Amino acid sequence: MRILGIDTATPTASVALIEDQKILAEQIHRQAKISSDQAAPPPKGNHAEVLVALIRSLLAGASLSLSQLSGIAVTIGPGSFTGLRIALATVKGIAYEWGVPVVGVSTLHANAVRVLDNGIICSLLDARKQEVYAALFRRAGKVFTRVSEDAVLPVGRVSELLSDCGAVNPFLVGDGASAYEIQLRKSFGDAMRFSTGDEFGSVAAQAALLARQRFLAAATDDLGALSPHYLRSSEAQSKRFIAALTC
């Protein structure tokens, strides 16, 4: 079973190809860094410009065509609103044209499962404006379980989330962990391990591996119903809502 994994929900876009439980190849593209509180336009070389090229390069390197895929796994959020729409639009286009089944995967789950350390793993993605997308997981050897649901919350609440689950020496991973490391250390203490995740494999590869059992069980997603898991409204939607209240 060959599965193509795709992630553009984070500043590091990635695509990966797995066969059964083996990662055959990965392609990664990192955007230029933007300040956590900065509402800036996408930098040159954004995900919309590179995703199709990454997929083509990946498949060419493996001497495969889209028709030879067993399925596509795509992260559906939370994460960058624009990035999520780019990935889903691309995946749906491929799926409809080539008849390839699709499975959507939590970005936070795929980000966290890359960490092989035992204990509590806190998956954090930068949601801007002093907020993060967060979820807790626990690894005990090969057993990986979810501790909390995906949520968006102020950075200051992360320490409460960790304390409530009795976390000791938790591992915080993702661009949200690196963006707010100083603040998080002040609120929770030094008994924390931090990583952007750059030293691990791609999020796309883990999304493909997580989706494998669903493909085997033919429990794929309805393409028409598959949509991004935003967790909150976009800034534009929020402004329209506030404007409506003040009219």
Q: How far apart are CA 40 and CA 198, in angstroms?
A: 23
The pLDDT value recorded for residue 245 is 29
The pTM score is: 0.88
Tokens matching residue 166: 């009795």
pLDDT digits (tens, 9 = 90+) for 38-83: 444 444 457 878 999 999 999 999 999 999 999 999 999 999 999 9
CATH H-level, domain 2-108+201-237: superfamily: ATPase, nucleotide binding domain (3.30.420.40)
Q: Which CATH code is given to the segment(s) 115-195? A: 3.30.420.40
Look at residue 8 in the predicted model and tell me its pLDDT: 96
Domain boundaries, given as residue ranges, for the chain: 2-108+201-237, 115-195
∠ CA 210-78-14 to the nearest 5 degrees? 55
Q: Which of 148, 127, 140, 105 has the alpha carbon at shortest distance from 238?
A: 127
| Angle of the 47-61 helix axis to the 81-98 helix axis, nearest 10 | 40
Quick one: average pLDDT of 4-32? 93
The rounded percent of the chain whose pLDDT value lies above 90 is 79
Identical topology for domains 2-108+201-237 and 115-195: yes
What's the pLDDT tens digit per position in 87-125? 999 999 999 999 999 999 999 999 999 999 999 999 999
Q: What rounded mean pLDDT belongs to the chain?
A: 88
How many Å is the Cα radius of gyration of the chain?
18
- Give residue 33's pLDDT: 54
